[in-house]
Structure 1
Amino acid sequence: MASVVVVGSINLDIVASASRLPTPGAKVTDALLTHHPGGGGANQALAARRLGADVSLMGRVGSDAEADTALALLRENGVDLAGVVEVPDTATGVALIAVAASGENQIVVAPGANLRLMSESLQVPAVDALIGEHLAPRDAVARAIETFDGFTCVTLATASEVDEVVLRHADLIVVNESEAAWYGDSLALQKGLVAKTSGASGAALYRGGEQLARAASPAVKAVDTTGAGDTFTAALTLALVEGQPYAEALSFACAAGAAATQRNGAQPSLPTRDEVERLLKGND
């Protein structure tokens, strides 16, 4: 069993599922409201665990009732939470998510306790791989990746400035189409692998600007795309650590991401390894 540590955000997702997403200044009044555990780091940790890895999570939650909800599925699935610290007098991070019937979403995040993840307090365990989520404080992610002795992955989850240490030391960088466009040629200058995701169109893997592999995403009926990117990242990291060839690893990750869109909610939708492998076989 591969071992993975994730440094990233932990949130409570407040989800409004509606027929369509609102345009600026408009209202949509047919939504159904639900609450789910979420946060990019927490999603990646649970995804890796359900795909078969031994997983630990490093992050921060508030001293409130929302923390218990945010951590519930991680505890239930056996993710090691020794690195998750409760911050007094601080709110747990919250994501406000609107989801359309098509599966598309809009997300606004109030990070709360996630901002209190400090680099000097990190004691990263000796494991096979580390995933750093860029929505966590940048200095904490940079220190974790710079000092970690193993396979490192970073998700540039928003198009914003990133510490050069992260880019220089990452063995794998994951971006979507808009993030890839924002970072531009700087990604091709890095020594590590770069995975560029294109939603339902699949993904491609590069090194030094040269394409190494491309994979299609299995055709599925998307219900909610929240968490699909986090699942892709966890699956690709795990597959590469396991020694899967680039093309097979990318296909596995695309199938995992697609599988995560078939149920509502970020963490409730995360697939098991059996579910991903069945989807892969059905796509052959």
Structure 2
Amino acid sequence: MDKALVSHQEGDQLYDELCHAFFVRSNNGLLHLAPVERPKCVLDLGCGAGVWATEFAKAYPSCQVLGVDLNPGINARNLPNCQFISADIQNEWAWLPQQKIDLIHIRGLVGFIRSWPDLLRQAHASLAPGGWLEIADLGAHTLSDDGSMSQAQGLYQFETLSDKMLGTMGQQVGLLTSLGDMMETAGFQDVSEAARKTPLSDWSDDADMREMASTSAALHEMDFRMIASRGLQPVLNLSSEQVEHVLSGALHDMHNKRIHAYKLRHTFTGCKRD
């Protein structure tokens, strides 16, 4: 889900909390996959309501955590080691602390950044030797392993319009496929990608997939509703009736357990070795 569609509006705190629960669950309960040990200074870029930054600060009380967003939340709960600042991370990072960074965390921003090469350049320069960058996001399109997505005409129509909407907004669909290569070009080493299936409903007989669905299904539905109301209608100039028709078809397919639909959660990690 693009943060441009969810920022500064009612319900954002709930969305960020659900999004945080989803990503932590998809990490098997971990706040991060990058192998950082005893971090002293951490950045959370595009921190939103600050849920991840707050939880990281609680987990690492000797680490200074800085959350950065155009309009950061106030979720720090008076933690002495967690601060938030308002800044555009797509500009030069004049707000950086003097101390080098041990971990830079980015989540849910892949379709939102104008120039990933520029952002990755600044991230690499800001890290301490041995520091890590971690970028997590959801794939843009819904998949199935058994061909059942061929029955999901409602989902197909919704995602076709979503792609058109993102193109109209100047955003790149499918950028995730080249993110690892861009990290290596920026100088990151030991770049790896971890992908996990996140089902749209509890259609699977697999216990782990069903457990994942307890969080992922709610997030995917909220994503669809936000895209419909905050994206399809104003960006594509669709009527309320048209949006409701498209959304209804997508949600019908989402809850149809004969359609074994999922999205991939991708997490990229890379290290600055020098």
TM bucket by the smaller chain? 0.3 to 0.5
Provide TM-score, normalisation by structure 1: 0.32
Please say which structure displays the higher CA radius of gyration: 2
Q: Which has the higher contact order (CA 8 A, sep 6+)?
A: 2
Which of the two has greater strand per residue?
A: 1
Provide TM-score, normalisation by structure 2: 0.33
Which of the two has greater helix per residue?
A: 2
